[in-house]
Amino acid sequence: MRTTLLTYALGLFCLPLSLAASPPKTAKPPVATYAISIPEFTSPPKIDGVLDDPFWENGTLIEDFTQFEPLEGGTPSEKTKAYLGHDKDYLYVALRCFDSNPKAIRACLTPRDKAPADDGITLYLDTFNDKKRAFVFQINPCGIQTDGILTEGSGRRRMGFERFDRNWDTFFLADAHQDELGYTVEMAIPFKSLRFPNASSQTWGIKIQRSIPRKNEEMYWPPHTRDSNGFLVQSGTLEITGPIAKGKNIEVMPVVTGLKATVRKFDPQGGLNFKWGLTSDMVLDSTYNPDFSQIEADMPQIDVNQRYALYYPEKRPFFLEGKDYFDTPFELVYTRTIVDPQWGVKLTGKSKGTTIGLLSSRDLNSPEITLFEPGVIEDDGETEGPLYHSLVNIFRLKKDLFSESYLGIIATDKETGISGGPLTANYNRVAGIDGHFKFMRYNRFSFQAVGSMTKMGAEKTNFVPAFTFGLSHNSRHLQVSADYSSIPPDFEASLGFFRRKDVQSLSARAGYAFLPQNEWIVSIRPSVEYRRIYDFKGTLTDDEYSVSCFLSGWRQTYMWGRYSSGLERYEGVDFYQKDLMIGLGSEPLSWLGAEIRYNFGDGIYYDVNPYLGYKSGLEMWLILKPFPNLNVSYSLGNDRFYKSRGGEAVYKVNVISQRVNYQVTRPLSVRLITDYNDYYRMLYVSALLSYEYRPGTVFYLGVDDNRERDIQGFFRGTSRYYFIKFSYWWRV
């Protein structure tokens, strides 16, 4: 009865909102007219953010932007003009963004890549015009740069839309200026910073986006529509007929780091990063003694009573470069399994529709290869048991088929031995084929079939196959998908990330989008999901369904609810669970953003003698920007577990985090991180002084302090680290 009531409640929540939907205007799809040819400038414009250079008047003008949100196909509330041109070394882009209320423009002085909630413009360049991958350049009205890679169908989505990976960094010039008419932006993107076909002329895909968060408004050129299964397929084309600089550029980045730990001497080390653009579309990266110091700290996660290993994203520069080249439906390449690399070499590129990726590395502190159960990755330089060395090799090849499809192969090899012993004593080898096909405009089919061979000590497996495939339909209103995966218990991918093996899993999802598209409500998205899993003995281990509804609207406000019910089998016992999650997030003001999630219901206590109890969880985020150059964020994670509803508490966990960033100037900033976990009674404090002249040319000085709370309530120091880093990026 409770299940039925909650399902009806969710339906009643969505129904009146959906009835308010008015027939949306449909954006006209991109057609051949959205093609531009840009002129060559005789001399470069000055990149200072002020559009007073007369050369811009000679550039190609774009001003027919179309609104996507809140009203798809509507006329933008503010006018935008874009100018484009080039010379032999740079692509030049300038924009005049008019605003009827310039004082309301959202613009913060923040570190690079940290201004996602501001007004700004975004440029997407699909340099191979293959509708699969684009370089992304984003500027806010303070001139803060963000860059990244957008990979079509990568799974990086927020509120139903593709997101780009901001971890990729490159060098480009950009500045912005605010005035009584709004703001202006100027960019100069070196061709050396891009990869593109080794041809005499260039035809690239291009999209330009402008965002006005206070109005919940996004506008695009060319027009963007939901009536298409894909983002880059809706790009226009940019033609460059004149000669441009191509490849064969050399980059050298020496790095000096130093670490002073408690009761240890100062330990300075040197490293070297080297990059060689063999051609405009093929790049060789190498590194020796790469720097993986504590500049980027992982966000704390609650690890109490977790059945599966936690996932931590890659943050190390060498592995981030070209990371998407190795992506497949199964995550066979999770580079945080390479804990302490001594050296690394990587070749990535694309030529005549063929993408290639090669990666080789020597790891001096490698996790042990495990069978039957996925292990937790130790990424702090310490592993239990004997110390292993390993040699890692990864090969990836992908061939384009048509405009949005491909076939690919991948092979990974990890050879491991105990320190001082032979390096090939143990191994894990994985190879397979995968593909992605788009058909009949709205439909996509993807698959992967792989096999592994593993030897670890006395344990050895023959060829063990695993496979997955998925079918999806994504149109303007209807989204339907089905996925199936088969992963045997003795399948091992020691360089990948698998939360669970011994599964034959079927999942299906159906959703519908109501699109009122007005100032208050942009979309309402109810959906239903079903998941069923058997192990390889034929035992049903999971049988779950869920219903949910997601709403987005006024000033970046979104709210959702999700109810799930089903079976989970653990340690031979069947547990039947029901739980509910609700959430709300908003950025109503330029200086305020917040999100809250709350879940409660049945939960399993994962132990040798498991039982069904009652759990609740609360997550909160708060972002304050009292001044344009001061950003303060707080997060709270609260997990509670009881033997029964209203019964005895088994554990209570609170994880509290604070991050304060003060931007003194555009390159100079000070950061303070404070994390406290009351379950482990541990306090982590980190202070960092950063000077980032440009990507790769940086200076960091910081201190990390770890403390433990004793029974008297005092925090006693357990360890302290002082670290320093300096690197300089030369481009030849």
Tell me the pLDDT tens digit for each residue of 264-276.
888 888 999 998 9
Q: How far is CA 338 from CA 190, 327, 365, 450, in A?
A: 32, 17, 8, 21
The pLDDT value given to residue 3: 43
User: Which pLDDT band, with edges at 50, 70 and 90, does 163 fall under?
Assistant: confident
The pLDDT value given to residue 229: 85
- pLDDT, tens digit, 9 for 90 and up, residues 7-66: 434 443 444 444 334 444 444 444 447 999 999 998 888 999 998 888 898 899 999 999
For 332, how many CA atoms within 13 A lie in the half-sphere containing its CB?
35
646 belongs to a structural domain: no
188 belongs to a structural domain: yes
147 belongs to a structural domain: yes
The pTM of this model reads 0.85
The pLDDT value given to residue 691: 94
**Would the pLDDT of 348 be above 80?**
yes
Q: For the chain, first and last CA: distance in Å?
A: 71
> Domain of 152: which CATH number?
2.60.40.1190
Report percent pLDDT > 90 for the chain. Answer: 65
The pLDDT value given to residue 320: 80
The pLDDT value given to residue 141: 96
The parent domain of residue 206 ranges over 31-240
**Would the pLDDT of 129 be above 60?**
yes
- Torsions phi, psi for 224 (to 5 deg): -115, 140
| Closest listed residue to residue 196, CA positions, set 134, 275, 285 | 134
Task: Mark residue 255 as left, alpha or beta (left: phi above 0; alpha: psi -120 to 50; beta: remaining).
Answer: beta
Average of per-residue pLDDT across 549-562: 93
User: Which pLDDT band, with edges at 50, 70 and 90, does 296 fall under?
Assistant: low
Q: What angle do CA 705, 706, 712 make, to 5 degrees?
A: 125
3 belongs to a structural domain: no
User: Which pLDDT band, with edges at 50, 70 and 90, does 159 fall under?
Assistant: very low
23 belongs to a structural domain: no
User: Which pLDDT band, with edges at 50, 70 and 90, does 659 fall under?
Assistant: very high
Average of per-residue pLDDT across 701-705: 93
One-letter amino acid at 230 equals G
The pLDDT value given to residue 376: 43
Domain count, the chain: 1
Mean pLDDT of the chain: 88
Q: What angle do CA 382, 387, 389 make, to 5 degrees?
A: 110
Contact 206, 236 (CB under 8 A): yes
38 belongs to a structural domain: yes
Question: Which value, in Å, is the radius of gyration of the alpha carbons in the chain?
Answer: 26
User: Which pLDDT band, with edges at 50, 70 and 90, does 372 fall under?
Assistant: low
Measured CA to CA, the distance from residue 648 to residue 640 in angstroms comes to 11
Structure tokens, 246: 């191509």
201 belongs to a structural domain: yes
- Highest mean pLDDT, choosing among 202-206, 398-402, 456-460: 202-206
56 belongs to a structural domain: yes
